Amino acid sequence: LKWSNEWANKALDYLKSPKSVKADVVIEGEQSFNEDDTQLPLQKLLAFLQPRFHKIEKDLARLPKGTIYGCNGVINKKGNKNSISAVCLYKKP
């Protein structure tokens, strides 16, 4: 797998409009955290995305050589909570 800044940007586009980007594999999630939660943003992100990666770990391992990917996310404030939305997109060659 190879990181792609282009696909990281497409991941942000996907968060705004999922039908606007065509990817072969999509891992996405959203989770709300209390505003006073002291975890780092990365810790919060891993808390809800990591189980999704584990579910399709074998599928990811079978992606062909040359597959590119990109991930992105946004944090929005909703009342006294912060909502994190994130996605990783994978595109086969």
Euclidean distance between CA atoms 76 and 15, whole angstroms: 12
Q: Specify whether the CB–CB gap between 33 and 82 falls below 8 A.
A: yes
Q: Specify whether the CB–CB gap between 2 and 67 falls below 8 A.
A: yes
What pLDDT sits at residue 47? 86
Euclidean distance between CA atoms 42 and 59, whole angstroms: 24
What is the pTM assigned to this prediction?
A: 0.87
Quick: pLDDT tens for 47-88. Answer: 888 889 889 999 999 999 999 999 999 999 888 898 999 999
Which of 12-16, 41-45, 51-55 has maximum average pLDDT?
A: 12-16
